[in-house]
A and B are shown apart, each in its own frame.
Chain A
Amino acid sequence: MDLNQLQLPAITPNMVIIGLLGMIAVVTAIGVVAFNNPIRSMLSLVANFFTLAFIYFSMGADMMGITQIVVYTGAIMVLFLFVIMLLNLSTDSLVATKKFDIKPLLALPVGLGVFALILSQILMPFKDVVKTSAPDATATAVGWGSPQAIGRTLFTGYVWPFEVISLLLMVGIVGAILLARRRVEV
């Protein structure tokens, strides 16, 4: 692939914004894996999800962005925080230190290789796609990411998946209670 043929997009305010958000997302994603302390990893994951919500906002997917904040940063990550604190895993003291582990050494080249491979082979055909198809919110019409549009779709074309998902969540609740309950000696 000739890098000279790849023309860079013009620098517009939108590009600057998405560039900043993307930078934060990338750095915090690395932080999740690189930090030794689970609390730090968790915090960078929270920052990552928060940034993702803003990326969704920038796409006009308002409802998805706010769901991201409610579900991920507001509920799931708090659960993680709880478990980390209850198990007191904070200093990795429970994880036995090994003398030598090949995995972290291999991680960087393999990760970069996979990234380059997928980017060049699978994603490059999309490099000319600049035009959006989904309608944005205007003064008269609702956008593609508005709660009205999502609610209408969810309860017309996707009722069955929705019901199945609700059943799955129910099973999840029951399972979590069963697992977390202390066994009572009989």
Chain B
Amino acid sequence: MKDIGQGIEWLSVNQPMTLAAIRVLLMVLPILVIVPGLIWYERRLLSWMQDRVGPNRTGTITLKNGKKIRTFGLLQPIADGVKLFFKEDITPATVDRVLYFISPAIALFPAFAVAGTLPWGPGYGTYGHLTPVWGSEIGVLYMLAISSLGVYGVVLSGYASNNKYSLMGGLRGAAQLISYELAMAMSLASIILVSGSLKLTEVVKAQEGQLWGVVPGIQNWFIFTPFGFLSAVIFLICMVAETNRAPFDLPEAENEIIAGYHTEFSSMKFAVFFMGEYAMMFIFGGIFGVVFLGGYNMLPIQWAELAANAPGYSFLHFMRDLNYWMAPLTFLGKCAAGMTFYIWLRATLPRLRYDQLMALGWKFLLPAAVANFIVSASWIMAQKLWGWQGAVGASIGAVLIAIGLYSAIRKAMNKGTTAMEKRSVELSEGTETIPSIRAVELV
């Protein structure tokens, strides 16, 4: 272990280019290896949730003496891969050949590029030289920017196929991705505000502080804080929509538009789309882990701070070191947890209608994210001005003012109405459409 650490130290001084190549490989290779496993995992977990068996035979080897070596179907994705490789690669006659050829590559690109700024280990010691690939000052923005490039893969493949259903799927995908990107960016904005940096390593470091700044020994994972929880819920919904997965899989809704944008793609081209989708899901799980779930920390407990006070080499010291050396595995585990969430959603929820999708994105998620942003900004400002007691007082005051304003507006709205209108308002109580129309007319 020591030798490896020293070797990396030497590389970082003498061979920075080699070290950079190693960093890239350490990020890309695990994804490439894990993606087939993810497909097996999804099929098995989905079949378990749906009370089926799923692929469990491939890879079972029967020895001469009748004993069987079982791999629980783990070799199924490899068999699928071999099948996809040797299938005939059909290119329909009327496709736009250049775009048809490059659009799977464009779809695959963001999945690997997004991983570039994710830290899968602490930023000090040996891991500091190995991760992230590009420890830039703009990590969060980079992530948003690159994931927004996923639109091109979807739209161009839909256009290149020269097929009405594909084009529909592509346009649907583009509209969906653009709508949900906004809410996603706004939900991350409040996290940036609190952590005070766009650097993902800094975001993780901000989560290693004390919970709410007061509870000792517990880490301040953003999902435990009120604004962070709301952000996390919004981000979770948006990230499912961004990867075109159920219940937001309208671009490839198979019962409406066959398979949407990848209808015309066969053989390896289809496999590349498939791989891009799964890699993107895995990476988004990792992003969620880094931004909301404390990154590479195993449990929300400040082992290092606790161990600093403890004498000798105790259990706390052991846990601190374990937390450090297990960091990559913890990160992978968080990615896998995100994947599990995706599969769970797919098994649970039916697909949304198109208008429902747009209404959810624009009318609920975006306003909620913006409100969250404003509230957390005001909270930080109040805390800086008056300390936390003053901030609590100010927020109570703000809530009271909001309630007062709301009831005053309600009263003013009902004031000018005649008895007949009042009755109709009462009749349609709960639909909310009538009062708002009244408000516009009265103004």
Contact = CB atoms under 8 A, between A and B. Distances in A.
A/B: CB atoms within 8 Å of each other? yes
Interface of A: 39-40, 43, 46, 62-63, 66-67, 69-70, 73-75, 78, 81-82, 85, 90, 137, 142-143, 146-148
8 contacts: A39-B99, A39-B159, A43-B99, A70-B141, A82-B171, A146-B137, A147-B137, A147-B141
Interface stretch (B144-152, B245-253, B265-273): B144-152
Contacts of A73: 145, 148-149
Interface string B133-160: 0001110011011101101100110010
Nearest to A57: B136
Contacts of B198: 147
Interface residues of B, number: 25
A99 B167 CA distance: 34
Contacts of B108: none
Contacts of B171: 82, 85
A176 B155 CA distance: 22
Given A69-B148, A142-B137, A146-B137, 6 more contacts: A43-B99, A62-B136, A70-B145, A78-B151, A81-B155, A81-B174
Contacts of A62: 136-138
B178 interface: yes
B142 A78 contact: no
Contact of B138 (A66, A74, A75, A82): A66
A156 B96 CA distance: 51
A43 B96 CA distance: 13
Contacts of A74: 145, 148-149, 151, 181
A78 B173 CA distance: 12
Nearest to A81: B155
A46 B159 contact: no
Contacts of B146: 69
A31 to B, nearest CB: 12
A70 B148 contact: yes
A143 B137 CA distance: 10
Contacts of A75: 148, 178
A143 B156 CA distance: 37
Interface in B153-205: 155-156, 159, 167, 170-171, 174, 178, 181, 198
Contacts of B167: 85
A78 B177 CA distance: 11
Nearest to B99: A39
Contacts of B152: 46, 78, 81
A39 B156 CA distance: 9
A19 to B, nearest CB: 18
A16 to B, nearest CB: 13
Chain B CB within 10 Å, residue with most, of A74, A137, A142: A74
